[in-house]
Amino acid sequence: MSKFETYFLMSSADVVEYAKEKLDLFATDAKLECAEIGDGNLNYVFRVRDPKTDTSVIIKQAGDTARISDDFKLSTERIKIESEVLQLEGKLAPGRVPDVYFYDGVMNCCAMEDLSDYVILRQALIEQQQFPLFADHITTFLVNTLLLTSDVVLEHKQKKQMVKKYINPELCEITEDLVYTEPYQDVRGRNELFSPNREWIEREIYGDTELHLEAAKCKFQFMNHAQALIHGDLHTGSVFIRLDDTKVIDPEFAFYGPMGYDIGNVIANLLFAWAHANAIDESRQQPGFLAWIEQTVVEVIDQFKEKFLKSWQENATDVMAKESGFATWYLSQVIEDTAAVTGLEMIRRIVGLAKVKDITSIEDVEQRINAERICLIAAKRLIKERATIRSGIDFLSVFKGRVSQ
């Protein structure tokens, strides 16, 4: 009997055995190398490689708690959602996600294409690398995965079946708590503010009741607007990149939610890369990097809008959705949500439990205080003024409004 007939959390040695038994990729006498390379907050990611043939594969396994904290008891089902969503996204946006080879519902793991010649975008941005094709690639991914899974395109009963299939209550609860609640009301006492900035954050975030009201409105929008099958965690740690290619990974938070959640995550995390580079000594700043990030923020919004309207023209099926003016109204709502989510993500990654390396790795105390405040001031405006934010330049103007003060 195979030892993989009952679930347990695998070690690297177990994964070698597993790969030989379950995959056709490796010879039974192959001397495989295996390392756990995950740096996310939830799962275990193993790279298995045969050095002789240079064949490799990624095996990703879910535990029943989150890596970041045992506080989070999680369904191991999330790997099923991840592998099914990756396969669907691969059809909707060809080439923009890794190939998934199989899903194992007993061991709660999946096997997928090894992207070892790619780098994680967050780390590459921290190192100030530029990727001229990123805006084009990510906006195609966003438009195709979002618009094509919405009621604008899908037959409505089929769309409701999708809403049912991709219900994801535990992972949604993490977002509801970490993004939409705890940065405003630290109900579980796990925020751990950067202490030199504590008083300022307590006043500007915990003390801003107008902000809390807007965050509450956004929270209920997130929970109740089953608009499209969203990725649900599209930060720069969920993107593998090379100069010529971009692959989106990790859609375990996917569910039917507001489109702006994905776009806003992309924008917020680009702005963290800007804040990181801006905080380092000028002598170590790569010429043109800050300008490239700014241009990319503008391009992501403006290319998204352009491709969205084009795709709407080509793919909309709902008769009322074809009414003159409806597509532009719908898009303006998506951009408004995007502005709010950009702000909410920026606040939660500085104030809440799951912080980002772009900010936490800023060693100079004054520079980190400054970076946090730049982001938080912009974030508050993005949330409060979201109805007035329409274009890529609007996003950038709000963000840079603070920098020139």
Residues that bind Mg ion (CB under 5 A): 40, 250
Instruction: Provide the minimum distance between the beta carbon of 352 and ligand SR1 in the complex, in angstroms, as a whole number.
Output: 8
What CA–CA distance (Å, rounded) separates 96 from 239? 10
Is residue 110 within 8 A of residue 117, CB to CB? The reply is no
Q: If we measure between CA atoms, which residue out of 280, 268, 294, 298 comes closest to residue 375?
A: 268
Helix (H), strand (E), coil (C) string for 329-387: HHHHHHHHHHHHHHHHHHHHHHHCCCCCHHHHCCCCHHHHHHHHHHHHHHHHHHHHCHH
Judged by CB under 6 A, the stretch of 39-47, 240-248, 282-290, 299-307 that binds ligand SR1 is: 39-47
Instruction: Provide the minimum distance between the beta carbon of 252 and Mg ion in the complex, in angstroms, as a whole number.
Output: 6
Residue 13 burial by Cβ neighbours in a 10 Å radius (0-12, 13-18, 19+): exposed
124 vs 398, which CB is nearer to ligand SR1? Answer: 124
Is residue 22 within 8 A of residue 5, CB to CB? The reply is no
Hey, is 128 helix, strand or coil?
A: coil
Is 68 one of the binding residues for ligand SR1 (CB under 6 A)? yes
Exactly one of 18, 26, 72, 103 binds ligand SR1 (CB under 6 A); which one?
A: 72
Instruction: Provide the minimum distance between the beta carbon of 223 and ligand SR1 in the complex, in angstroms, as a whole number.
Output: 15
Residue 174 binds which of Mg ion, ligand SR1, none (CB < 5-8 A, kind-dependent): ligand SR1
Residue 66 binds which of Mg ion, ligand SR1, none (CB < 5-8 A, kind-dependent): ligand SR1
72 vs 206, which CB is nearer to ligand SR1? Answer: 72
Is residue 58 within 8 A of residue 86, CB to CB? The reply is no
Angle CA 140–141–143, to nearest 5: 65
Is 174 one of the binding residues for ligand SR1 (CB under 6 A)? yes
82 vs 294, which CB is nearer to Mg ion? Answer: 82
Give residues with Cβ within 8 angstroms of 129, minimum separation 6: 119
The DSSP letter of residue 85 is H
Instruction: Provide the minimum distance between the beta carbon of 348 and ligand SR1 in the complex, in angstroms, as a whole number.
Output: 8
Instruction: Provide the minimum distance between the beta carbon of 143 and Mg ion in the complex, in angstroms, as a whole number.
Output: 22
250 vs 345, which CB is nearer to Mg ion? Answer: 250
Exactly one of 7, 12, 41, 113 binds ligand SR1 (CB under 6 A); which one?
A: 41
275 vs 331, which CB is nearer to ligand SR1? Answer: 275
120 vs 147, which CB is nearer to Mg ion? Answer: 120
Exactly one of 23, 163, 172, 354 binds ligand SR1 (CB under 6 A); which one?
A: 354
CA atoms within 13 A on the CB side of 136: 7
Sign of CA dihedral 358, 364, 368, 374: negative
What CA–CA distance (Å, rounded) separates 283 from 341? 33
Tokens found for residue 112: 């997928």
Number of residues that bind ligand SR1 (CB under 6 A): 11
Judged by CB under 6 A, the stretch of 45-53, 88-96, 170-178, 210-218 that binds ligand SR1 is: 170-178
Instruction: Provide the minimum distance between the beta carbon of 68 and ligand SR1 in the complex, in angstroms, as a whole number.
Output: 5
Is 233 one of the binding residues for ligand SR1 (CB under 6 A)? yes
Which residue in the shown chain puts its C-beta closest to ligand SR1? 41
Helix (H) or strand (E) holding 257: strand 255-257
183 vs 392, which CB is nearer to ligand SR1? Answer: 183
Q: If we measure between CA atoms, which residue out of 263, 274, 245 comes closest to residue 304?
A: 263
Exactly one of 10, 48, 58, 66 binds ligand SR1 (CB under 6 A); which one?
A: 66
41 vs 285, which CB is nearer to ligand SR1? Answer: 41
Instruction: Provide the minimum distance between the beta carbon of 287 and ligand SR1 in the complex, in angstroms, as a whole number.
Output: 32
Is residue 346 within 8 A of residue 378, CB to CB? The reply is yes
- Summarize as ranges the residues that interact with ligand SR1 (CB under 6 A): 40-42, 66, 68, 72, 174-175, 178, 233, 354
